[in-house]
Structure 1
Amino acid sequence: MQLNIKQFCSSLSSVFRCNGSLPYGDKGRRKSRFALCRRNKANGVKPSTVHMSCTPQAAKAVSNKEQHSISYTLSRAQTVVVEYTHDSNTDMFQIGRSTESPIDFVVTDTVPGGQNQADSQTLQSTISRFACRIICQRNPPYSARIYAAGFDTSKNIFLGEKAAKWRMQDGQMDALTTNGVLVMHPRHGFCQDSKPGQWREISVCGNVFTLRETRSAQQRGNMVESESNELVDGSLIDLCGATLLWRTAEGLSLTPTVKHLEALRQELNAGRPQCPVGFNTLAFPSLRRKDVLDEKQPWAYLRCGHVHGYHGWGGRCDPEVEAECQERECPMCRARGPYVPLWLGCEPGFYVDAESPTHAFVPCGHVCSEKTTVYWSQIPLPHGTHAFHAACPFCIQPLSRETGCVKLIFQSPLD
């Protein structure tokens, strides 16, 4: 997913694998991107009173539906309750799987190819119902900070005995959520020269830690005091089942618009690329028809990058391999590899520049600029509870280990 920023407050979110919109359309709080704007009335909160035992005051704070609080259960006999008070200088936005009213941005698990987890009933979601919260300053410099866990409908966060929790040097409590909230800030900003940073885990209080051995391990990582939970342009947020991209207003002002991507598509089609075998003219379909195969659809051999029209010959007959996974032999150079239709990447927020679409991700065939494919090909995205691999941001399909992208070779018309 992706988050993007509005000019006066915070960011909008863009969801990985959506390529511009959810498979069944953006509706209400369930959408592919979400703009964080300054609220009419501040709803931010900040920690205040700490109750170190199950006192009547602590019980009152938990039961009061007008009082935000976080409960840290240390044992059956001891629970630390931290009251939170209203902060007129900040706005709070919450992200999670729950469709209940406290959640501003509803996210669902994603699987490769652009489908929702709901399409696979056998899978159990690993995204928390109340995954995280983002606190944004209402005044300049409009900084935004991320915290693990969100407040539920009773304005509480409950951390049970099994949750990794500890007491800090100043006496305050802190904890990690079950599957954790991971964040990666890019080095050198989000641009052509960007490089991936280190993945870190964010605690309930916003502290930064190295990763646990697995997502749900009881032992926390080491605190990284030199880093903060403040989001920057291009920050990645992983909720163990969905990955979000945070974009700032300033960053988005340098990002190509949908109109610019459409102009690049038209310019590419105006060159009248031809199939080198059938000599028929190829054309990328409009962005509105980005998932509908067309008779003029460009196809490519991803081992070499030669672009063709569709043909059904040249495949390696292997009954153990599904038809769409069959390798094909390029008639131009005899290289064997995946043969797939090409699709333009339609989500502008994923682009690191505004250059022409000349490269394709391997093996999905999503097309965008060279710098964009190179950038995402070197980003290790969390996968499962302990693995990482590069993936196409437009469909979240894992990239080839040999080469994450390929330069496309178009043939110009012979006339």
Structure 2
Amino acid sequence: MVLEGCSEAVTPKALDLQRPSELPIVPTGTEHSIDKDIIKYGEFIVLGYNGSLANGDRGRRRSRLALYKRPSANGVKPDVIHITSTPLASKALANLGQHSVSYTLSRSQSVIVEYSHDSNTDMFQIGRSTETLIDFVVTDTAPNSQLSSETQSIQSTISRFACRISCERSPPYIARIYAAGFDSSKNIFLGERAAKWRTPDGLMDGLTTNGVLVMHPAHGFSDESPPGVWREISVCGNVYALRETRSAQQRGKLVENESNVLQDGSLVDLCGATLLWRTTEGLGNAPTLKHLEALRQEANAARPQCPVGFSTLAFPSLAHREVIEKQQPWVYVSCGHVHGYHSWGCRKEGGGAAGDERECPLCRQVGPYVPLWMGCEAGSYLDAGPPSHAFCPCGHVCSAKTVKYWSRIPLPHGTHDFHAACPFCATWLTGAKGYVKLIYQGPLD
């Protein structure tokens, strides 16, 4: 268990951290317009929000955040180790005004590792806390979270100080992830019940309550890359096999041939939200919002028609996503036939709502009938291919390579479950493949 107490307030000057509000924040889709003199380490994208939070991106609470080189380094590194026998001595050491990690072994013994300034790295922190030392505020993601503007009332499983990222200030700007973040007293506390141990070199290490899981793609972020293996990252950045359950006190086995270095396409799970890491190089090869808008216009220019009602269909603009319009294309997810909206064919009396079981009038296959939406989070795309496929059962549309990639990625859910999910809305995928190829009817003239 990670204790998140903070004994006294610290002034912004004492924190010596670059305020997140002073960091340049670039809206999604303008990745290539940033000043070339500014060094960008990469971007985190929260899966399930399709380009923006339901109530809009604001400050540090957003669906996507870029990490930039700070004006001055704020990184830290392990330095002096103290072994204390009394809680008083432990508290005194923990309030020296410098970063430290406290490992409580028993009521009478603690190990405190003091951290010193590292001029070669920049540190960024991610968590649920809204305190200013958190650079990226992340809350729990629920399926179809984009459709709900209400705040979840359930208790969050994301830690207030979930993890920290250390980026090297010199090329190749390597980014590393560590479990747990420093609180406003610059401390990380691991209590008696937390999983912790001594390492072979005499240092201490441990895990947070619900853990920080990472999966690196086996061969990069590409359609030919099979899923990697989910691992757990420790407070010191070591890699371990998963625990039996998410919060078990017994750690997994050390994985010596893997590291905490983030790669393009690495996934970070905080037990309630999953983040996708894209490197600057990876984003340079990814589509932008401008590309996606061109694909939408091209699809509409083909004038797809409803094969029954003969009305012309059109994808709504990216700005009006999730708002059903009159010309909205709908699909039978069992077969992929695209239609305009109609209320007949429902297998339930008095039905007709999205997702109801319907019988396709063209091939008679029965399955959910849902509106089609363009996937708007460009960072989740594998390429800028045409919108030819849709995830099942949510109906988010993107390229063939993108649906095939995400349909085979098992994302953590709860304490020990894994499910493939749509990266745009976090809905669990269904059906044999988790996606369907769209069959459009061209114009009759």
TM over 0.5: yes
Task: Specify every segment of 5 or more residues in structure 1 that has no aligned partner in the other structure, as ranges.
Answer: none
Structure 1 residue 412 corresponds to structure 2 residue 436: no
The aligned residue for residue 377 of structure 1 is: 407
The aligned residue for residue 39 of structure 2 is: 8
- What is the CA distance between 1:187 and its match in structure 2? 1.3
CA distance in 1, matches of 2:148, 2:373: 23
User: What's the secondary structure of 2:93's corresponding residue?
Assistant: helix
Report the AA paired with residue 393 of structure 2: P
CA distance in 1, matches of 2:412, 2:382: 21
- What is the CA distance between 1:401 and its match in structure 2? 4.5
Q: Which moved more, 1:382-391 or 1:115-124?
A: 115-124
CA distance in 1, matches of 2:243, 2:161: 21
Structure 1 residue 360 corresponds to structure 2 residue 390: yes
Report the AA paired with residue 391 of structure 2: F
Task: Specify every segment of 5 or more residues in structure 2 that has no aligned partner in the other structure, as ranges.
Answer: 1-27
1:191-340 correspondence to structure 2 within 5 Å: 191-317=222-348, 323-340=353-370
- What is the CA distance between 1:54 and its match in structure 2? 4.0
Q: Which moved more, 1:270-279 or 1:120-129?
A: 120-129
1:9-408 correspondence to structure 2 within 5 Å: 9-54=40-85, 59-64=91-96, 66-115=97-146, 119=150, 121-317=152-348, 323-408=353-438
CA distance in 1, matches of 2:194, 2:184: 21
Describe the shift of the 1:224–1:401 C-alpha distance in structure 2 as closer, same or farther (beyond 3 A): farther
Describe the shift of the 1:77–1:116 C-alpha distance in structure 2 as closer, same or farther (beyond 3 A): farther
CA distance in 2, matches of 1:26, 1:9: 20
CA distance in 2, matches of 1:178, 1:19: 29
CA distance in 2, matches of 1:318, 1:215: 43
Report the AA paired with residue 93 of structure 2: A
CA distance in 1, matches of 2:206, 2:149: 30
User: What's the secondary structure of 1:86's corresponding residue?
Assistant: strand
The aligned residue for residue 12 of structure 2 is: none
RMSD: 1.9
- Alignment check: 8 A CA contact 2:82 2:113 kept: yes
- Alignment check: 8 A CA contact 2:120 2:170 kept: yes
Instruction: Using the aligned pairs only, state the percent identity.
Output: 67
CA distance in 1, matches of 2:227, 2:137: 27
User: What's the secondary structure of 1:263's corresponding residue?
Assistant: helix
Report the AA paired with residue 363 of structure 1: P
1:343-375 residue CA offsets vs partner (Å, 9 max, x unmatched): 000011001111111000000000000010000
Describe the shift of the 1:80–1:200 C-alpha distance in structure 2 as closer, same or farther (beyond 3 A): same
Describe the shift of the 1:116–1:215 C-alpha distance in structure 2 as closer, same or farther (beyond 3 A): farther
- What is the CA distance between 1:199 and its match in structure 2? 0.2
1:94-144 residue CA offsets vs partner (Å, 9 max, x unmatched): 000000011000000010002499835541100000000000000111000
- What is the CA distance between 1:10 and its match in structure 2? 1.6
1:236-268 residue CA offsets vs partner (Å, 9 max, x unmatched): 000000000000000000001110100000000
Paired residues, what number?
411
CA distance in 2, matches of 1:148, 1:389: 23
User: What's the secondary structure of 2:223's corresponding residue?
Assistant: coil
- Alignment check: 8 A CA contact 1:110 1:241 kept: yes
CA distance in 2, matches of 1:247, 1:54: 45
Describe the shift of the 1:326–1:116 C-alpha distance in structure 2 as closer, same or farther (beyond 3 A): closer
TM-score w.r.t. length of structure 2? 0.89
